[in-house]
Amino acid sequence: NAGVTQTPKFQVLKTGQSMTLQCAQDMNHNSMYWYRQDPGMGLRLIYYSASEGTTDKGEVPNGYNVSRLNKREFSLRLESAAPSQTSVYFCASSTDSPEAFFGQGTRLTVV
Amino acid sequence: DQQVKQNSPSLSVQEGRISILNCDYTNSMFDYFLWYKKYPAEGPTFLISISSIKDKNEDGRFTVFLNKSAKHLSLHIVPSQPGDSAVYFCAASALQGSNYKLTFGKGTLLTVNP
């Protein structure tokens, strides 16, 4: 079992470029999440999806869009990257319980 | 406003001794609390949790205590081992509709010295 898989692991973007972070889980979980982790800030929720076809904003959604493509996949898109979006991004999934399982993370640098 | 607070950015203990990590919360709607462990360049991994109907949960060397009246929880690691050195995140959850969303603290870096 791979669990939660994120691609890419590292990315450098120029300001204004766009990109999509991919996430897939093989645990048949209904809920999926995108978090960002910044130094001294803990993990903050960007968007989440309670089930296939639904998405909702979290604490810091500005500058991002998401797509729940199917039950397995939940992607995060930056339409026009800004230096403030330099961060480590984590995808997570959970079943009908609070315990979420996290991917390895994507380290994004916007220059 | 921070709903989950970990006021100690770092903690250093000797191998074999007890590590106590603390967490405070402000939202009375939180009904489930979790601890995650994170090594550098890896994702957080679930460690232990406790429901608000309990005041203690134990799993091997790890015990979580919950004091609802004080809105405080703590993680005890006994005995501490060098492999426990990591960042520990406290998280709290409240059921919203059919979904649990986690609110995290800023984390505490635990260093266990041999």
pLDDT tens for A6-56 read: 999 999 999 999 999 999 999 999 999 999 999 888 899 999 998 888 999
Cβ atoms of B88 and B106 closer than 8 Å: no
End-to-end CA distance of chain A: 36
Tell me the CA distances in angstroms from B28 to A35, B32, B75, B95, one per residue in order.
23, 11, 20, 12
pLDDT tens for B58-93 read: 999 999 999 999 999 999 999 999 999 999 999 999
pLDDT tens for B2-42 read: 899 999 999 999 999 999 999 999 999 999 999 999 999 99
User: B1 to chain A: which residues are within 8 Å by CB?
Assistant: none
pLDDT tens for A53-87 read: 899 999 999 999 999 989 999 999 999 999 999 99
A55 touches chain B (CB under 8 A): no
| φ and ψ at residue A36, rounded to 5 degrees | -120, 145
- Say whether B99 and A48 touch across the interface (CB within 8 A): yes
- The DSSP letter of residue B83 is G
User: B34 to chain A: which residues are within 8 Å by CB?
Assistant: 98-99
- Say whether A48 and B106 touch across the interface (CB within 8 A): no
Residues 5-64 of B with CB under 8 A from A: 6, 9, 32, 34, 36, 41-46, 49
User: B103 to chain A: which residues are within 8 Å by CB?
Assistant: 45
What is the dihedral angle through the alpha carbons of A87, A93, A99, A105, rounded to the nearest 10 degrees?
A: -30
